Amino acid sequence: MEEFKVRFIKKQVFFIPVPVLILAFISGVSVYWILFWFIVLWLGGSLAWLLYTAWNLELDIELKDQVMIRKESTSIKIRLFNESFLPFPYGELLTNNWSYRDMSGANQKLFDQDQKQDDNHTRIFQFFFNDRQVDSWVEVTDINPLGGWQRVFDVKCYTRGKFYIGPMKIRIFSPFSVFLVEKKFDEKELVTVQPRLLSFIGQFDASGSDPQGITRKKNTFFQPMDYMEVHDLRPFVSGDPLKLINWKVSARQGELYVKRIENTGDERLLLCVEFSKKYYYSREQQDLLLEKALSVVKYFSDNNIQLGILTIDDNLRYLPPSSGRNQWQLARKLFTDLKRNTSENLPSYFQRTSQTMKGNKILWLTPYLDRHYKQGLKTLASGGTQITLLIDQKGKNIDIKDLTIPAYQLNYYRGQVAIKEVFTS
């Protein structure tokens, strides 16, 4: 559906007849006739030209990637073309009035025009996503006016989520800006921005001493082989993890053999991600938390360990335990849609999730730890559930005093996530 409206810019039209009136006064011709033909030919002609151009103006949006990863680049091509024989009217076609509509239905600014111009007078624009600048300077490519206009943007988005590009509004001015036409295009394109996958180093203090000199027992919660048993060996198949190769047997036999492994017992590993609104300063830190969680999921899936995922936001979302590439791909889609939890009733989290967590080994990822939160974790652990706490490096109000469960800190540096053990009571 397309619609357009015409607006008369009153303050502009009074300046245009001044030269005409001066010419009429000098030549002695009737002012009324000159004004009459000025209105008929100049204003009427420019208005007809403007309406005809706007009526034939079309818009086309081309996306190189419908799904993109946060902070990766993609191309968006927005093409305006006019199939009529008339060129575009004199004046500027404003792109800073284009907008997009996000999933909540709120109109947000998509483009913002900058005043800078290069030596070739190429107009330069900036791209905005969710009111955040997402790229550096991008150039605008203008085609022959008879063939249309084309905008090509190389976009790097910093915000995860699902967004609509469109609807868009185009403004065209007539000569001397006497009339203004606004045409709205309802065309929308969905863009999905997913979390990044960070490199998981897994380096942490497996054993050591606390400040009082008490030696701590080695915690091997992140050792993959603790959750598997080696039953026998089989020939190596392309795609098998190199960690599973039995080098002694392979050397004797002259070909590669890998360990055939299975999960031990009925224990299940569950990653619980608590995603709350009030515990973070910025959207960047919120997205980074989910990317850390995704890197943990990828680490366990690479080691063929079945891992379930439970997210706590405004709703509880649960992915049953599974392993392999499919699990972390599903986790990425789950984290893309995750909303921040606005509830402050922390004890209700543990009450609602106690049945789901029963009989599981829990990895609990949180950016927040206070007295009430620790009491809820202790209540879960007292029921026989083994809990290991993952504390986000950027979290607030972290208090590990009197914490009796194993705890690790997730540290992030230049696209890598590392584990550091936190000594607890």
Dump pLDDT digits (tens) for 356-398: 666 668 888 887 777 777 777 777 777 667 777 887 776 556 6
Instruction: Indicate the range of 99-103, 325-329, 350-354 predicted with least confidence.
Output: 99-103
Mean pLDDT of 202-211: 41
pLDDT above 50 (res 148): yes
First to last CA, the chain: 65
Are residues 187 and 316 located together in one domain of the fold?
no
Mean pLDDT of 319-337: 83
pLDDT above 70 (res 299): yes
| 10 part of a folded domain | no
Residue type, position 215, single letter? T
Residue numbers of the domain that contains 357: 199-229+264-422
Are residues 168 and 281 located together in one domain of the fold?
no
Are residues 216 and 344 located together in one domain of the fold?
yes
| 190 part of a folded domain | yes
pLDDT band at 301 (very low <50, low <70, confident <90, very high): confident
pLDDT band at 340 (very low <50, low <70, confident <90, very high): low
Are residues 224 and 349 located together in one domain of the fold?
yes
Q: How far is CA 80 from CA 25, 88, 191, 217, 262, in A?
A: 44, 11, 20, 67, 58
Q: What is the CA radius of gyration of the chain?
A: 32
| 137 part of a folded domain | yes
pLDDT band at 26 (very low <50, low <70, confident <90, very high): low
Are residues 159 and 299 located together in one domain of the fold?
no
* C-alpha to C-alpha distance for 133 and 250, rounded to whole angstroms: 54
Q: How far is CA 294 from CA 304, 310, 419, in A?
A: 15, 12, 14
- List the CATH number of the domain containing 347: 3.40.50.410
Are residues 117 and 209 located together in one domain of the fold?
no
Are residues 209 and 177 located together in one domain of the fold?
no
> pLDDT: is 332 or 1 the higher one?
332
Q: How many domains does the chain have?
A: 2
Are residues 177 and 207 located together in one domain of the fold?
no
pLDDT above 50 (res 89): no
| 336 part of a folded domain | yes
- List the CATH number of the domain containing 68: 2.60.40.10
Are residues 179 and 325 located together in one domain of the fold?
no
